Amino acid sequence: MKLQAADKIIKMSKLFNNIINSKKTISAQFSAIAKMISDNTEADATVCYLVIDDNYIELFASHNFNKNLVNNISIKVGEGIIGGIAKSKRTTEVEDIWKHPNFLFRAEVDEEKFKSFVGIPILRWGRAIGVIGLYKECVFDFNKDDIRTLETLSMEISDWLASDKIREYKNSFMKERGFNTRDSFKGLSLSRGYGYGPAVVHRRRKAITKIFADDKNAELERLQKAHTQMNIDLDEKFNQSKLGIGEHADILDAYRMFAKDKGWYNKIAGHIEGGLTSEAAIERAYEDMWTRLSATQDTYLKERLHDLRDVADRLLGYLCGDKGEISTNNLDSFVVVAQMMGPADLMDYDYHKIKALVLEDGTATMHVAIVAKALGIPVVSKIKSIFKEIKNGEMLAVNGNEGIVYVRPDEKIIQTFDKKIADKIAKTEQLAQLRNLPAKTLDKKRINTYINVGLDFDLDYIESTNCDGVGLYRTEIPFMTAEKMPDVDTQVSYYKKIMDKAGNKKVVFRSLDVGSDKLLPYWTYSGEENPAIGWRSIRITLDRRAILRQQMRAFIRATAGKELNVMFPMIANLTEFREAKETLLIELEKERRKSKNVPKKVNVGLMVEVPSVVFQLDAILPEADFISIGTNDLAQFMFACDRTNNRLAERYDVLSVPFLRILQEIVNMANSAGVFCSVCGEMASNPIEAMVLLGLGYRNLSISGASFAKVKKMIRSVNTEELEDYINILLDYNQRTLRPQLIAYAYDHAIDIF
């Protein structure tokens, strides 16, 4: 950094501090800051916008602009040049705003006289909380030193904006505009489970009050000391925590290496050499890295950024003597709320007491989420405003299954949570008890019990249930939680993970089943009149064959040397099944020709969930290695009843003559053809319905992990021969539902359906 620029920032920083420490009103302080920036740069006019909720950015101060516009102009984040800066979080120079593709003309804004513009985002914890804009009346090339100076000053402005005083000031505007605080938030579930307790708001970062160092060498020494101590403590902390082995432990190890990384350390030292304090140098090094990595679509690199933020914050803490130990001694349990968190942050708490974790931002691959999950802590993320709204000590109840956070929950919610928590404990105990007992009926029929897998959480059930394998892997779920369409290698890594977890057990991969209620965030869907019977599932992947080919390639590679089971969803006729199967076989042949290692056996099957296919099973079965009944969709199409429509939820019952007859027909046909036949729809996960499946002759069930214990208990208490006779009698009872009779039968025969 040149001395000239350093002088300027020192001067502007002083002026800024004079303004914010003056007795002026806050709005006068805002105006004075805008004027000060104009006076000390080459700008003809200056504006200062603040993000007032997560969607809007509002003009809070201006100089040489129409004064009446202050607090009267708001722009959507992402809209126009300024909204674009708030979204991209990047400094943007525009030579001629009128020619800029995003220029938003608004008659009330007196921008007519201006041409050139430079906008600098005010960043806080990786988010833009405001934008400073400089205008010039002519086409102009802004001085790069001025821009760097303002970027540095924006760090100070950011701290000021985060102060309670300014937050209150901003809140008063938000209230006026009707941004109410809410009592529940919906986010994304990253780790299942229920938990409640007082909030502990995780704030580590301290305001950086001094940007330029008085003594370079003393500063380097400070950095070195803090860095060494931090690493000693991290080593000790991680060695003490008995975390076992697994991905979470690898993450913490990688984090430890990261904290010791020489490249990062040297970058910070370089900025100190340029005249900055250690604190400002850490921020600068982070921002450099952030600018380089934030645009990447690569999730791994993005996670590295979170880790870097965490290590940077930790080091900042050590510089000011705060080693990060957070005292929660007076609390027995609590819920941690953080804007963002690194995996090591979690270890600063007594994690046995953490009942849940709520994050403003985060994905399932985020390291803190993986570690929290390994520790059995429910996690909900992507609740944008929670960090700002929650105060320490405020009661929170977190439903990690559905991704809901209740603020100040009432007694009823707490009671429900207590029951859920008790149920979970009971279920875990039950699972443990049943784990090594055979899934055999009283009349000695061995039932093959598989599990359904979608999210990563489900993988744990493979071990805890001791099931026979995975009867349905819904591959669309990792596609739905990814930020972009996963390429072949990424898919291979997903599929390998499940193969590794399954060991020698069977895994059935279902090809992408998207559309209808399962939408991919990065695809645009043309609004369809009837999406459930629209362009979805195999219809999409047969029409966009490259997607199917890629997925088949990934399946083949992930199961090299093992058995591959592929199942196609929503097949409506033989032609579709043949086309899909052929796609797989061609890919297999291609891989073989490339002399790649291929699976040692390939089984190809289909889901029976579109009624038309039942009437062609005689032709399909000889060409299929297995079938699996998707009772959810089969019922939806049989009864012409939208499965997502609550009004219709009680109207038709799968436990009724038409549905049971079709199920019986399918299993009989499959058995005659000697084709493996299972049920992977929800019926298999509901004890009374699964009981009926056994009575109809089904011997292979794919169950949701959470329901596994209940269904296994039912299996172990039923006599299928007696039940078969009873169901055959019932099949002549043409009433709306047979459920009451079946429940009564279960009672009378002591079949465990609860």
591 touches, from ligand PEP, Mg ion, none (C-beta below 5 to 8 Å by class): none
- Residue 279 in tokens: 């604190």
Q: Which is nearer to ligand PEP, 371 or 654 (CB)?
A: 654
Q: Beta 395-399 vs 194-202: how paired, if at all?
A: antiparallel
Q: Does 680 bind ligand PEP (CB under 6 A)?
A: yes
**Quick one: 616 or 632, whose CB is closer to ligand PEP?**
632
Query: Which helix (H) or strand (E) covers residue 729, if one does?
Result: helix 720-730
Q: Which residues pair with 700 in a beta bridge?
A: 448
Q: How far from the centroid of its chain's Cα atoms is residue 573's Cα?
A: 36
In the complex with ligand PEP, the residue whose CB is nearer, 65 or 698, is 698
Question: Of ligand PEP, Mg ion, none, which one does residue 680 interact with (CB within 5 to 8 Å by kind)?
Answer: ligand PEP
Per CB under 6 A, does 468 bind ligand PEP? no
Q: Does position 591 bind ligand PEP by CB under 6 A?
A: no
CB of 587 or CB of 633, closer to ligand PEP:
633
Q: Please say whether the dihedral angle defined by the alpha carbons of residues 636, 637, 639 and 640, taken in this order, is positive or negative.
A: positive
Please count the residues of this chain forming the interface with Mg ion, following the rule CB under 5 A. Answer: 3
Q: Taking the complex as a whole, how short is the minimal distance between the CB of residue 632 and ligand PEP, in angstroms?
A: 3
Q: Pick the binder of ligand PEP from 192, 222, 304, 474 (CB under 6 A).
A: 474
Q: Is 632 in the site for ligand PEP (CB under 6 A)?
A: yes
Q: What is the closest distance, in whole angstroms, from the C-beta atom of residue 622 to ligand PEP in the complex? A: 24
Stretch that binds ligand PEP, among 285-293, 461-469, 630-638, 651-659 (CB under 6 A): 630-638
Query: Which range touches ligand PEP (CB under 6 A), out of 179-187, 257-265, 614-622, 631-639?
Result: 631-639
Q: Please pick, from the candidates 631, 656, 678, 707, the single residue that binds ligand PEP as defined by CB under 6 A.
A: 631
Nearer to ligand PEP, 383 or 683 (CB): 683
- Shortest Å distance, C-beta 273 to ligand PEP: 58
> Distance of CA 67 to CAs 27, 45, 108, 374, Å?
12, 12, 12, 55
Token pair for 619: 């032709």
Does 513 bind ligand PEP (CB under 6 A)? Our answer is yes
Whether the Cβ atoms of residue 323 and residue 345 lie closer than 8 Å to each other: no
Query: DSSP secondary-structure letter at 528?
Result: P
Sign of CA dihedral 559, 560, 562, 564: positive
User: In the complex, what is the shortest distance from the CB of residue 319 to Mg ion, in angstroms, rounded to a whole number?
Assistant: 55
**DSSP strand pairing (354-359 vs 601-608):** unpaired
Q: What is the rounded CA–CA span in Å between residue 540 and residue 531?
A: 12
Distances (CA, A) of 499 to 178, 509, 714: 51, 10, 29
**Both tokens assigned to 716:** 């172990």
CB of 476 to ligand PEP, least distance (A): 8
State how far Cα 215 lies from the chain centre: 45
Stretch that binds Mg ion, among 65-73, 85-93, 482-490, 609-617 (CB under 5 A): 609-617
Q: Cβ of residue 571: shortest distance to ligand PEP, in angstroms?
A: 12
Closer to ligand PEP by Cβ: residue 492 or 680: 680
CB nearer to ligand PEP: give 548 or 684.
Answer: 684
Binder among 58, 279, 458, 633 for ligand PEP (CB under 6 A): 633
Does 536 participate in binding ligand PEP (rule CB under 6 A)? no
Given the complex with ligand PEP, which of 369 and 472 has the nearer CB atom?
472
Using CB under 5 A, which residues numbered 619 to 678 contact Mg ion?
630, 633
Is the backbone of residue 240 left (phi > 0), alpha (psi -120 to 50) or beta?
A: alpha
Query: What does the alpha-carbon distance between residue 206 and residue 414 come to, in Å, rounded to a whole number?
Result: 35
Q: Contact at 8 Å (CB) between 551 and 475?
A: yes
CA distances (Å), origin 718, targets 200, 700, 715, 725, 745: 49, 15, 6, 13, 11
The residue type of 70 is V
Judged by CB under 6 A, the stretch of 339-347, 461-469, 541-549, 627-635 that binds ligand PEP is 627-635
User: Which amino acid makes up residue 113?
Assistant: K
Taking the complex as a whole, the smallest distance from the CB of residue 630 to ligand PEP amounts, in Å, to: 3
474 or 710: whose CB is closer to ligand PEP?
474
Q: Which does 146 bind (CB under 5 to 8 A by kind): Mg ion, ligand PEP, none?
A: none
Q: Which does 681 bind (CB under 5 to 8 A by kind): Mg ion, ligand PEP, none?
A: ligand PEP
For the bound state, the minimum distance from the C-beta of residue 472 to ligand PEP, rounded and expressed in Å, comes to 6
609 touches ligand PEP (CB under 6 A): yes
Distances (CA, A) of 78 to 102, 361, 444, 483: 9, 18, 64, 18
Q: How many CA atoms lie within 13 A of 542 on its CB side?
A: 18
CB of 569 to Mg ion, least distance (A): 6
Length of the chain as a residue count: 754
Shortest Å distance, C-beta 58 to Mg ion: 46
Closest CA to 452 of 465, 437, 435, 439: 465
Pairing of strands 188-191, 379-381: antiparallel
Q: Which is nearer to Mg ion, 307 or 513 (CB)?
A: 513
Of 90-98, 203-211, 348-356, 629-637, the segment contacting ligand PEP by CB under 6 A is 629-637
Query: Using the rule CB under 6 A, is 681 a contact of ligand PEP?
Result: yes
Among 362, 630, 687, 695, binds ligand PEP (CB under 6 A): 630
Give the integer Cα–Cα distance in Å for 386 and 366.
18
Count each helix (H run) and each strand (E run) in the chain, helices first. Answer: 28, 22
**Count of residues engaged in binding ligand PEP, rule: CB under 6 A:** 10
710: tokens are 């209940």
The answer to whether 156 contacts ligand PEP (rule: CB under 6 A) is no
Report phi then psi at 449, rounded to 5: -115, 120
Question: Least Å distance between CB 630 and Mg ion?
Answer: 4
List the single partner that 219 binds among Mg ion, ligand PEP, none, CB under 5 to 8 Å by kind: none
Centre a 10 Å sphere on the Cβ of residue 306 and count the other Cβ atoms it contains: 21
Please report how close the Cβ of residue 626 comes to ligand PEP at its closest, in angstroms. 14
Smaller CB separation from Mg ion, 378 or 531: 531
Buried b (16+ CB within 10 A) or exposed e, 170-202: beebbeeeeeeeeeebebbbbbbbbbbbbbbbb
Question: Where do we find the tokens 């296919």?
Answer: 613
Residue whose tokens read 């299954």: 401
Report residue 721 as tokens.
Answer: 């021969």
Measured from the CB atom, is 324 or 630 closer to ligand PEP? 630
Q: Which CB sits closer to ligand PEP, 340 or 472?
A: 472
- Tell whether residue 664 is a contact of ligand PEP (CB under 6 A): no
Q: Smaller CB distance to ligand PEP: residue 356 or 680?
A: 680
One-letter amino acid identity for 377? I
Nearer to ligand PEP, 59 or 512 (CB): 512
Report if residue 476 touches Mg ion, rule: CB under 5 A. no
194-202 vs 334-338, strand pairing mode: parallel
Identity of the residue, 46 or 565, whose beta carbon is nearer to ligand PEP in the bound complex: 565
User: Which residues form the interface with Mg ion (CB under 5 A)?
Assistant: 609, 630, 633
Which residues form the interface with ligand PEP (CB under 6 A)? 472, 474, 513, 609, 630-633, 680-681
